[in-house]
Each structure stands twice: as C-alpha cells, then as structure tokens.
C-alpha cells in the first residue's frame, strides 16, 4: 500500500486537537465512545449492506468487519485503531487519490461501497469547538450496476443495471418483466418474457448488477438460478411495488404520467420503476438523464441462451477473453460508443426482416461509397464519448474534460451531419441519424468553446480551465493572484538583501501559510535587533528557523483571497456550463446515439470490404442457403493455407414447409465443428444487420438459436459431465420451434457407445418429427447415417478427406453423403502414437468391422420417435440374475478358491439363457 501513509492518520480522536491532528482512538481512556465513533456508527448503520469508505483527511478508512473484508479483498494491511467497547477496532484505508482503483477491484468482486465524504473543512469544525466532529455523510453508493466513471468502466461495453419483476397473479405465474438501464449512457429498456426465456434474456444483457425483490430472491424455484448469477441485489418490497410504480417512473422523468412511453403493462412499469428507484437511491437523489424506456416486444430479438452464447464465443471466448471472439473479429468501430452498440447488436440480433434490411441498407451505402466511409470514420475517430461525459456531468461527477467532450462531440456531430445528409438518401437509418446529429444546439458548443481553456485539468477544483478573456472578474482575480506571487519573489530578494542572509527563502505550506525560512546558523541573526523588528519567530526546526512578517501576512491574505476568488468564479462558471449541458441532455444523447449508429454502419462496411462479405437476404421463409460460407473467426486466424469455403442448404424441400436437418459425419479434425458454427454465426451476423462471410446467403429469419457441444468435446468449459450435456439437449428439444436453428455437435459422446448412440438417434428423430426445425448435427456415430432413408427431411453430408500413402489429408470440404469410416487411427498416427499401437489398432479394427458386417444391426428398422413412443424393453432375466449375483459378492472376504467358484457360478448363469 501507499508508503506515504502517515503513521497517525486523523482518527477517532479522544480530545483536542480534534479532527486532523489527534491520535486515532475510538474511545478515550475512560472507554467512552468518541464523537467521531458515534458519527461513524450512525452512518454505517444507515448503510448496512455496503462497505463504508469513511473519509478522514487524505484517506478513506474502513473499520470493523468492513476493514477485514476489504483488507482481504484488496490485499492491504489490516491495522488497529483505538478500542470500541473494550475491543480493538480493525482498520484499513486507501489513499483518496487511488480510491478509484480500489473501488474498481471491490466492485468487480461484487461488493457495494458507500462513499462517505467530509462535508466541511476540518478548520470549520475546529472553530465550533475542540470536540466538534467534521460533518460527514454518504454522498454516493457505488454498486456494480450504477457506475459512471471511465476508470471504473470498460469503454467498449455497456454496463447494465437490470430489474426482474414477476407477476403476482397465479394465472400469470410465469410472466416476468425485465427493465435495464445503462446509467453511463442513459439507455433504458423494458421487455416482458416467460420464465423459460428469462435466463436467455439475462444472458444477452450480462448485467453488471441485477435487482430483485426480497420475495423473488427467496423464491424456491428461482433461488438457485438467481444465486448462480453474479451481483444480484435483493431489495425491500417497496421498490417493486406495482401500485406506486407508475408514479415513481413519471416522477423520475418529471412527467405527470407515463403515457408518452406507450402502453406499458403493470409488470413492465414495476420493473422500470424498480430500476429508477434504485438509481435514485444509489445516486442519493440525483437523477442521471435516461432515455424514455423503450419497450422491446417479445420475439423481436433472436433468442440465444447462455450455453449457446458461450459455445459460439460471441462476445468472449470460452476462456473468457474478448480476443478470439466473434465480436473481436468483426468490431472495426473507431469509437467506444460504436463498440458498445455493435456488441449490443451482436448480443441481440433481430428477427424482423424489415428492421434487419434497414440496418443492411446503411451498411450497403457505406460499402458502395468507400470515400464517404473513410471520411466519416476519420471524423468519428476524433469524436469523444458524448454519452458517458454527459452522464457524469449530470450526476455532478464531471470535470472540465467532460465539458470539452461535449463541445467536441457536438461539433463533430454537426460536421458529420453535413457530410452525411446528401448521401444518406438511400438508407433510412442514416437519414434518421443525420437528423439526430443535428439536434444539439450549436450555441452550446460555441459557449463551451469560448469558455474553456486549451489545456484542461482533470478535476475542476484544480482550476485553470476557464479561458483567459472569458470573464473579466476572473481575469482580474487571476492577475491579482499572479501579481502577488511576483511581489513575494521581490519581497524575498529584498529580505535577503536587508538581512544579508543570501539563502533566505519565502516558502509556503498548509500549516503556516507563507513564511520566511533561513538555515539554523542564520536564525539568531534574525531574532536579534535590529532585524527582530521585522522578523517574527514562528518555528525552529532541526535545520531551519522560520519567521513571518507583517508585510508577508498581509500579502498572504491578498493572495489567498485572490486565488479563492478566481477558483470560486471558475467553479461557478463550471456549474453554469454543466447546467446548460444538462438542460440539453436529450438532444445531446440523441446525437451520441447517432454517432454510434454511424460508427457501426461504417465499421461493418469496412469489415465487409476488407473480408469480402456479402449482403444476406433475410425473409420470413424457412430457407437457409449459404453458398461459399466461411467461419468469420477461423478464417481470420488461420495460418498455413486458405480457409475452404463451404455451402449449406437447409431449406425445405419443394412443396414442404419445414426446413431440413443435415447429419454431418467425417473424421476427427476434418472441420465438422467449424462448419456447424460458421453457419450459426452467419445467421447471427445476418440478423444483427451485418454482411456475412459467404458468396451468397439467403436466410428465413431464425427466432431461436441453439448450439451444443457434446460433453466429451466441451473440455474448455471444464464441466465435461454427461449430465450437463443432457440437460442442455433437453432444453433444446423442449423449446425449439419450426423457426429455430439448432446446432448439435457430437451429442451423446459423453457416455458409453450404445447409450450415446441411442440418445443421439432419438434426438435426431425428435428434431425431425417434433421440433421440425432446421438443424446441423455432427456425429461420429456412423450408424445414424442410415436414418436418412426413413426421415425425408434429413440428409447426410460429410467432410471429405483424401488418403494418400496411408496418411489422411484433410480437405475441409463438405460434400453430400456419409463418411465411409472414421479415420481415427490415421489421426492417432498424426498425433504421434507409437507405431506398434497403431498397427495393433488397425488389426483390431479390421476384426471388429468384419464382425459388424457379418451381423448388421439393422437400426433402420427401429420405429420412429414420434410414430410410436418406444415401450420400455422387457428386462433381461439373465442379466438381472448375473447382476444380483455380482452385487452379492464381497471380494475382500473371499478366499482365492471361493472367488474362483463364484466366477464359475456366474459363468453358468450366463450360459443358462
Ligand atoms: P472436427 O470438429 O471435425 O474435429 P474442427 O472443426 O475442430 O474439426 O476443425 C479442425 C481444424 O481444421 C480447425 O482447427 C481448423 O484450423 C481447420 N479447419 C476446419 N475447417 C476448415 C476449413 N473450412 N478450411 C480450412 N481449415 C479448416
Ligand atoms: Mg469437432
């Protein structure tokens, strides 16, 4: 921790000098609770669920349990300060100038922090009397879902606070409403959904924090799910009170009713009101500007559950990194706001072909107009993060640089609008963006430009951010302040001369103010006549002696008041400018949104140009035709050879309604998984409004996407249990409808061969007969290829390999038909298994295959899944007998002879059949 930490920070002083200088004691020697302690306990009691950052001088201190939690979490030293009720008080602290960093770590671990500040100068408290305590109060609750600081946020990601509300009435038991807010950008949305869709909706948002009512948190059915999520905050019922919801929501927006938000259900109002109430609570009554809540109708976005998102590595890889994800592969945005929007769109692709086409129109315009695109991107690069600067200014956490960001953002927006408008005619999304870019009043930017200096400090309290010449009174105060400094320098020269002490210096510190300082050897001279008439002794240190003079005292007062006045004027100017900006918040927010929209459209066009993507055709059919499709991530990272493009056609056969299922076989490492995923990713890209890596693509909009990998292949997730695989497969079979797209990769591999085969078999049948969806099914069970004969909408495909001088060569080429064998042994050889093992394996394989041909299993004759639910097979009497005999054996208690006899007995039973 900070080495500069004083050994005796301002503590629980037990008497004068009170704040600022005393020893840190919570209680005096008689064991009485000190006033500071009393104040601490009161504030802590009001914020029981937060770690309390209690400001004392240059530190935020934590005490008692908070100190123990924070010291452990942050790896900082836990000390003791004074006693409370006879026991040591644990304490730790973080220096104020590094508080953000520590806050960040605590928040990331799911803690909530109440920041308690000193609300007055300690000097003011001292004036009230020796025992007075500096006034303090919590100015803010820092929770994972309500952050605004750049240092606490990832610029390229949204950070959502989400509220989940559940319908009370028993008939609607499973109805939920979800409201989500990003207070750092003002985005606010609401949606209703069924219980079954809740997890997918949450998975899409990945909220930084989720609030629920106490009742919901304790609900037996939901509790396990809610507890599996990070940062869920249960709140008292009043926050989720439906009766007051509308009023609370309207009040937040300063409206009489919420009618202008469109028809919201009571459930939606409840969730939305919970969000705003919580924001007010954490911001201590401040109301960061939010966009009016936008209602997302059910089914407007492509539902993708958590497992599928993870599996397809949409926004991060299975290892949890952005690098290597689809998002990283396609994000060519030049602004943080653009990156946030593209991530949002990728997480929630659309289902309405028209809405998708509107986005594609914008991308296409920039694809065909590369010159315009380049010009736009150049300007967007320079545009600041308007939305986040605005949010900070409105919650009083902004600095001079945020004002500059607003200035530059408005100017950039106007410039872009001028350039865009003439060309945008073809794309409605861009025409609308151009209009939104013009919303903010140019006068605001002009005012800010006039007021702000060139070089800006980070904090407003540092001053110096108002341009010289902007405010006459400020200029005067600054002149006086700077003049006085020159006078000090002159005074020092004069004193040095009159005293003949050439090393005499005039210095300044916070305790003494300005003082004259000479080295110890000259001290006596100044304290003796005649100089002692001028120099008044203040302090003798080891090496120096310090003095003041009447003249210096007067000068000091003048300097201080001029500096104070200058800073005061600057702060007033800041407040006035911030108020102007806040008043224009809705217009500025629209411009910010438009900047992001532009950036995304131009970035997707850039990507399309760079990687030869084409515009997909999306409609309401059940078609799925990809020609020359590529994997958007693999093709970018592939070294050693080009990516082999592959077609995929799952469209319904002529005169039928439902899409088809492709059963893909082929050796290990042939490219099956890659092929499956690339088709799912192309669907996602198309529906988010992006061009796609293919020669041609036509997709009937998918409403739900599922992707699963068999447990044996799912090593990266570290939960390779067959159970998980089955649970997830069950979810698909229960949920997928005819518009869904299902990707199943090696399902059934996690268990014994025959088990696995039968499960895979039944799953394919179910998809075909019941779900009737489009699907891609990769399997190493060759037996399944026979199913195509019985299931009309199922067809076989294989990834081709070439055998050359006994080695396999992977062609990565998907072709109709079934793989003739699995080539596992060749792969083993490639992997370097000893030659003897390979040779032996070849022999065994030949034997097994010969036996297999001699007694074909005849799977093709099994009844279809839907046609006849299979009766439970009669249990085999012999098997039962052998098993129970086995169970009765106690090998540890047997003699070798008994064991041998038992073995004979078992053998006899087996022969009995
Ligand atoms: P499988 O699932 O059949 O075992 P994968 O899909 O995991 O095979 O592919 C194995 C490797 O082959 C991948 O890591 C990739 O590098 C390469 N590969 C896959 N498909 C292609 C392709 N179409 N073109 C080029 N290389 C490919
Ligand atoms: Mg695979």
DSSP state of 767: I
| Nearest atom in ligand 1 to 630's CA | 23
**Nearest ligand to the C-alpha atom of residue 713:** 2
CA atoms of 571 and 562, how far apart (whole Å): 14
- C-alpha of residue 777 to centroid of ligand 2, in Å: 11
Read off the pLDDT of residues 206-262 as tens digits, 9 standing for 90 and up.
999 999 999 999 988 888 889 888 889 999 889 999 999 999 999 999 998 888 888
Q: In what order do the strands lie in the sheet with 536-540?
A: 505-509, 513-519, 544-548, 536-540
DSSP state of 870: P
pLDDT reported for residue 735: 86
When the pLDDT of each residue in the chain is averaged and rounded to a whole number, the result is 85
Question: How many helices and strands (H and E) does the chain possess?
Answer: 30, 27
Tokens of 446: 């002009």
Is residue 462 scored above 80 in pLDDT?
A: yes
Is residue 478 scored above 50 in pLDDT?
A: yes
- Residues enclosing ligand 1, CB less than 6 A? 634, 638, 643-644, 646, 666, 668-674, 812
Contact between residue 667 and residue 824 where contact means Cβ atoms under 8 Å apart: yes
More confident residue, 661 or 7: 661
- C-alpha of residue 774 to centroid of ligand 2, in Å: 20
CA atoms of 197 and 298, how far apart (whole Å): 10
Q: How many CB atoms lie under 10 A from the CB of residue 7?
A: 6
- C-alpha of residue 398 to centroid of ligand 1, in Å: 50
pLDDT reported for residue 172: 53
Read off the pLDDT of residues 381-433 as tens digits, 9 standing for 90 and up.
989 999 999 999 988 889 999 999 999 999 999 999 998 888 867 789 999 99
Rounding to the nearest 10 degrees, give the CA dihedral for residues 723, 729, 734, 740: 160
pLDDT reported for residue 15: 31
Read off the pLDDT of residues 786-801 as tens digits, 9 standing for 90 and up.
899 889 999 999 988 7
- C-alpha of residue 669 to centroid of ligand 1, in Å: 6
Kindly report the protein residue whose alpha carbon is nearest to atom 26 of ligand 1. Answer: 643
Contact between residue 780 and residue 822 where contact means Cβ atoms under 8 Å apart: yes
Is residue 865 scored above 70 in pLDDT?
A: no
| Nearest atom in ligand 1 to 778's CA | 2
Label residue 863 by pLDDT band (50, 70, 90).
very low
**Nearest ligand to the C-alpha atom of residue 830:** 1
Read off the pLDDT of residues 138-161 as tens digits, 9 standing for 90 and up.
988 999 998 888 777 888 889 999
Kindly report the protein residue whose alpha carbon is nearest to atom 20 of ligand 1. Answer: 671
Label residue 876 by pLDDT band (50, 70, 90).
low
Kindly report the protein residue whose alpha carbon is nearest to atom 18 of ligand 1. Answer: 671
Read off the pLDDT of residues 291-329 as tens digits, 9 standing for 90 and up.
899 988 888 999 998 889 988 999 999 888 999 999 999
- C-alpha of residue 210 to centroid of ligand 1, in Å: 39
Q: Which of 541-545, 743-747, 908-912 has the lowest mean pLDDT?
A: 908-912
pLDDT reported for residue 827: 64
pLDDT reported for residue 716: 46
pLDDT reported for residue 536: 87
CA atoms of 614 and 747, how far apart (whole Å): 32
Read off the pLDDT of residues 102-117 as tens digits, 9 standing for 90 and up.
988 898 888 899 999 9
Most confident of 327-331, 496-500, 554-558: 327-331
Is residue 824 scored above 70 in pLDDT?
A: no
pLDDT reported for residue 220: 87
Read off the pLDDT of residues 332-377 as tens digits, 9 standing for 90 and up.
999 999 999 999 999 999 999 999 999 999 999 999 999 999 999 9
Tokens of 31: 């064991």
Contact between residue 390 and residue 588 where contact means Cβ atoms under 8 Å apart: yes
| Nearest atom in ligand 1 to 813's CA | 23
- C-alpha of residue 42 to centroid of ligand 1, in Å: 63
CA atoms of 370 and 607, how far apart (whole Å): 12
Which residue, among 291, 478, 491, 303, has the nearest Cα to 391 in the 3D structure? 291
In the three-class reduction of DSSP (H, G, I as helix; E, B as strand; rest coil), residue 599 is classed as helix
Mean pLDDT of 851-867: 49
**Nearest ligand to the C-alpha atom of residue 664:** 1
CA atoms of 733 and 728, how far apart (whole Å): 9
- C-alpha of residue 676 to centroid of ligand 2, in Å: 9
Ligand 1: which of 313, 636, 642, 669 to mutate, judged by most atoms within 8 Å of the beta carbon?
A: 669
pLDDT reported for residue 151: 78
Label residue 163 by pLDDT band (50, 70, 90).
very high
CA atoms of 157 and 108, how far apart (whole Å): 14
pLDDT reported for residue 862: 46
CA atoms of 490 and 913, how far apart (whole Å): 117
Read off the pLDDT of residues 181-195 as tens digits, 9 standing for 90 and up.
999 899 999 999 888
pTM over 0.85: no
Please name every residue paired with 797 in a beta bridge, in sequence order, or none if there are none: 664, 816
């Amino acid at each position: 921790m900070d080495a500069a930490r004083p050994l005796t920070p301002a503590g629980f002083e037990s008497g004068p000098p009170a704040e600022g200088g005393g020893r840190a004691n919570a209680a005096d020697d008689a064991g009485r609770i000190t006033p500071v302690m009393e104040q601490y306990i009161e504030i802590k009691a009001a914020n029981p669920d937060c770690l309390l950052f209690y400001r004392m001088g240059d530190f935020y201190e934590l005490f008692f349990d908070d100190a123990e939690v924070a010291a452990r979490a942050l790896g900082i030293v836990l000390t003791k300060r004074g006693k409370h009720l006879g026991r040591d008080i644990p304490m730790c602290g973080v220096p104020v100038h590094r508080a953000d960093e520590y806050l960040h770590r605590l928040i990331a671990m799911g803690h909530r922090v109440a920041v308690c500040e000193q609300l007055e100068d300690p000097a003011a408290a001292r004036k009230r009397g020796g025992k007075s305590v500096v006034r303090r109060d919590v100015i803010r609750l820092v929770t994972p879902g309500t952050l605004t600081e750049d240092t606490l946020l990832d610029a390229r990601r949204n950070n959502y606070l989400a509220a989940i509300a559940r319908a009370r009435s028993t008939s609607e038991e499973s109805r939920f409403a979800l409201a989500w807010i990003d207070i750092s950008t003002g985005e606010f949305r609401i949606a209703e959904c069924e219980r079954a869709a809740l997890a997918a909706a949450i998975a899409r948002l990945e909220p930084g924090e989720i609030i629920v009512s106490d009742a919901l948190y304790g609900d037996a059915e939901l509790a396990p799910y809610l507890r599996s999520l990070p940062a869920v905050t249960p709140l008292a019922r009043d926050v989720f009170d439906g009766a007051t919801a509308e009023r609370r929501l309207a009040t937040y927006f300063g409206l009489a009713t919420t009618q202008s938000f469109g028809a919201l259900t009571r459930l939606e109002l409840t969730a939305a009101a919970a969000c705003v109430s919580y924001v007010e609570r954490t911001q201590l009554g401040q109301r960061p500007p939010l966009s009016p809540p936008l209602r997302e109708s059910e089914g407007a976005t492509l539902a993708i559950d958590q497992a599928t998102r993870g599996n397809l590595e949409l926004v991060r890889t299975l290892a949890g990194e952005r690098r290597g994800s689809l998002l990283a592969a396609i994000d060519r945005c030049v602004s943080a706001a653009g990156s946030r929007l593209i991530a949002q769109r990728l997480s929630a692709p659309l289902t309405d072909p028209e809405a998708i086409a509107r986005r594609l129109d914008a991308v296409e315009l920039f694809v065909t107009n590369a010159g315009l695109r380049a010009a736009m991107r150049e300007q967007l690069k320079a545009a600041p993060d308007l939305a986040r600067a605005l949010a900070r200014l409105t919650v009083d956490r902004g600095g001079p640089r945020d004002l500059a960001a607003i200035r530059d953002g408005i100017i950039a927006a106007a410039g872009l609008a001028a350039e865009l408008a003439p060309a945008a005619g073809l794309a409605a999304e861009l025409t609308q963006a151009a209009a939104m870019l013009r919303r903010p009043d140019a006068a605001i930017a002009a005012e800010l430009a006039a007021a702000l200096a060139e070089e800006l400090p980070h904090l407003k309290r540092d001053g110096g951010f108002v341009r010289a010449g902007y405010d006459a009174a400020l200029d005067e105060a600054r002149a006086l302040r700077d003049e006085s400094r020159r006078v000090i320098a002159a005074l020092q020269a004069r004193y040095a001369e009159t005293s003949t002490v050439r090393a005499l210096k005039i210095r300044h510190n916070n305790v003494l103010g300005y003082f004259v300082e000479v080295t110890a050897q000259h001290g006596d001279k100044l304290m003796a006549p005649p100089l002692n008439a001028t120099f008044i002794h203040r302090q003798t240190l080891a090496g120096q002696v310090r003095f003041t003079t009447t003249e210096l005292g007067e000068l000091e007062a003048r300097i201080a008041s001029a500096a104070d006045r200058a800073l005061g004027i600057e702060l007033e100017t800041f407040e006035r400018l911030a108020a102007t900006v806040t008043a224009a918040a809705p217009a500025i927010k629209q411009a910010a949104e438009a900047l992001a929209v532009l950036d995304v459209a131009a970035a997707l066009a850039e990507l399309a140009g760079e990687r030869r993507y084409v515009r997909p055709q999306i409609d309401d059919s059940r078609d799925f035709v990809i020609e020359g499709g590529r994997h958007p991530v693999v093709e970018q990272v592939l070294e050693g050879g080009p990516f082999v493009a592959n077609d995929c056609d799952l469209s319904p056969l002529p005169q039928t309604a439902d899409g088809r299922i492709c059963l893909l076989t082929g050796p290990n490492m042939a490219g099956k998984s890659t092929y499956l995923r690339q088709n799912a990713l192309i669907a996602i890209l198309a529906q988010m409004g992006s061009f796609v890596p293919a020669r041609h693509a036509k997709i009937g909009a998918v409403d739900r996407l599922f992707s699963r990998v068999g447990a044996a292949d799912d090593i990266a997730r570290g939960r390779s249990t067959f159970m998980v695989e089955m649970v997830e497969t069950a979810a698909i079979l229960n949920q997928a409808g005819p518009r869904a797209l299902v990707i199943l990769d090696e399902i059934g591999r996690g268990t014994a061969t025959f088990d696995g085969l039968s499960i895979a078999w039944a799953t394919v049948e179910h998809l075909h007969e019941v779900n009737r969806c489009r699907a891609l099914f990769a399997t190493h069970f060759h037996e399944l290829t026979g199913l195509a004969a019985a299931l009309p909408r199922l067809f076989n495909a294989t990834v081709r390999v070439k055998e050359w001088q006994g080695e396999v060569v992977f062609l990565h080429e998907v072709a109709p038909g079934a793989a003739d064998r699995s080539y596992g042994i060749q792969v083993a050889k490639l992997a370097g298994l000893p030659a003897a093992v390979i040779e032996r394996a070849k022999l065994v394989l030949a034997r097994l295959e010969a036996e297999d041909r001699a007694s074909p299993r005849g799977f093709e004759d099994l009844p279809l899944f839907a046609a006849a639910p299979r009766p439970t097979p009669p249990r085999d009497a012999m098997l039962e007998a052998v098993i129970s005999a086995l169970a009765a054996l106690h090998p540890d208690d047997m003699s070798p002879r008994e064991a041998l006899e038992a073995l004979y007995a078992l053998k006899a039973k087996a022969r009995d059949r």
